[in-house]
Amino acid sequence: MTNMVTDDSVNTFKRIYICYEALKQGWKLGCRPILGIDGCFLKNVCGGQLLSAVGRDANNNMYPVAIAVVETESTDSWRWFLQLLKDDLSLGNGHAFTFFSDQQKGLVAAMKELLSRAKHRLCTRHLYNNFKKRFPQVTVKHCFWTAACATYPTLYHKAMKLLQRVSKNAYDELSRLEPKSWSKAFFDIHSFVDNVENNMSECFNNWIINERYMPLLNIIQEIHFKIMRRIRINRDSMAYRDLPICPRIKHKLDAAINASRKWQAT
């Protein structure tokens, strides 16, 4: 699906949204129910922002789903992007879906309006980068990452109690956030992903770093070519594999099987 908006009063381009049918159907049928939502600056003369929705496929690789070019990040532009994405992917009110973001301007408000039942995770890397500007102590860093990566609630609460003793202000600031938005211990299992960082979107932004300096038509064309090549390469790499699971997951499973040979049942 492609949707382009123009400003009729001056007859100029305003926004464009692109979601390929193959990627849309591929995400619905074979990807985990999680999307990284992010925006990055375009470095050309006209400026603007490129918004993206990036999933994670069954091989744990990034899976670009949709992109859009807008004039700026705002509640209005995010609402427009999310509404089109919601319609394309049949997201409904967001129930049973998880979204990753970096608390971009206007995104939280748009998500609450359009995807009120979706789970919303915060990227801990961006969260900590902002957090450490005010609390650079090493002990605060240790407490933060222990709480974020805790796999059960008791460990999370233990790290937060230690943080409270180390820095009351840091504890108060983190306590304002819902633990289910940044601590692994409170994630719902329906996403099938326990990541605490939005590395899917980061990978995509780095993947198109050179295209962001091009004129608008070239940006769209080059990203189109890159996505088409990616689809072909992934298709060809799996065409002759007689595996019930993807290669990266098979490698993890084999490593676990080899390690288990030294275990003793008790």
Low-confidence ranges of the chain (pLDDT < 50): none
Same domain, 116 and 175: no
Domain shared by 67 and 31, yes or no: yes
Pair 112, 39 in one domain: yes
The runs of H, that is alpha helices, within 115-246 are 124-131, 138-149, 153-166, 168-175, 199-207, 216-239
On whether residue 170 sits in a domain, the answer given is yes
Same domain, 141 and 153: yes
Residue 224 counted as domain residue: yes
| pLDDT for residue 206 | 95
pLDDT digits (tens, 9 = 90+) for 27-83: 999 899 999 999 999 998 888 999 999 999 989 899 999 999 999 999 999 999 999
- The answer to whether 36 touches 85, Cβ cutoff 8 Å, is no
Edge-to-edge strand ranges of the sheet holding 119-122: 2-7, 12-18, 62-70, 49-56, 34-41, 98-101, 119-122
Q: pLDDT at position 7, please?
A: 65
| Dihedral sign from CA coordinates of 160, 165, 166, 167 | positive
- Number of separate domains in the chain: 2
Residue 251: per-residue pLDDT: 93
pLDDT at 8: 63
In a domain, 263, yes or no: no
- Residue 248 belongs to some domain of the structure: yes
pLDDT at 6: 67
Residue 222: what residue type? Answer: E
**The pLDDT of residue 125:** 93
> What pLDDT was estimated at residue 45?
87
Q: 187, 214, 239 — which closes off a domain?
A: 187
pLDDT of residue 65: 97
The confidence score (pLDDT) of residue 4 equals: 67
**Cα–Cα distance, 245 to 1 (Å, whole number):** 30
Does residue 98 sit in the same domain as residue 215? yes
Q: Per the domain annotation, does 26 fall within a domain?
A: yes
Q: Which domain holds residue 108?
A: 2-123+198-257
115 occurs within a structural domain = yes
Same domain, 20 and 57: yes
